[in-house]
Amino acid sequence: MYAPFEDLANSDIVMGDMPTNVLDFITALLGKPPIFPEPPLVWFPPKFEDVESYCFQLCMEDAYLVNFGTFNDEPIQASLVGFVDCWGEGDANFKGKGRMEIDLGLKVKDIVEVAVLGRVTCTGTAILLDSSSQVWFYNVPDAVDPYFEGMKARLALVKLPPNGMTKYAELSFVEQHENVIVDVKEFDDEDDEDE
């Protein structure tokens, strides 16, 4: 007797070096939904200078969803796609690298280099990585989707567990700020300015 036909095209069935888009195409031809890899058990932020290639690689592998703990007993996921959808003409996405200016009061401002990692899934809240590997949630002005409901201000510094972010970690914030300006430019724009 022969084994039943496996009607899914994934890396367990077909050649391991086959591109993800070909696997998705074969799976669609078979009438099945796309197969997404399981999120990693533990997530650590990438190096600041590698954000663009990191997000690109995750998107190419359809592995951009990451478990980002729980908040008020609800699971949170991050979409590490490198942008947040915004209203506007043309490509109005919030993406790239730039600087964040936090008003600390008494005419004191903290200026931090940041890069857009992505967004809290199904929200208009960006996930930013700063040059010292800290992760921030930022409610992007003109975002298409609603903001993450767990924040009390426009910007919040995420408390990352020392052993990495898991789906069981309790999401909490170290500090929150209302008066902040974040100005980012696409990665390619920065490369052009450097030349």
- Encoded amino acid at 195, one letter: E
Query: What does the pLDDT read at residue 15?
Result: 52
Please give the pLDDT value at position 3.
41
Q: How much is the pLDDT for 145?
A: 94
End-to-end CA distance of the chain: 66
pTM of the model: 0.77
Instruction: Provide DSSP, 129-182.
Output: EETTS-EEEEE-TTBSSPPPTT-SSSEEEE---TT-B-TTSBP-EEEEESSEEE
Report how far apart, in Å, the C-alpha atoms of 139 and of each of 128, 151, 188 are.
11, 9, 24
| pLDDT confidence of residue 54 | 94
Instruction: Check residue 112 and give its pLDDT.
Output: 87
- Give residue limits of the domains in the chain: 1-35, 39-194
* Binned average pLDDT, 10 residues per bin, the chain of 195 residues: 44 56 73 70 93 92 90 93 84 87 77 93 94 94 91 92 93 92 73 45
- From residue 12, give the alpha-carbon distance in Å to each of 16, 23, 28, 151, 155: 8, 11, 17, 41, 42
Q: What is the pLDDT of residue 7?
A: 44
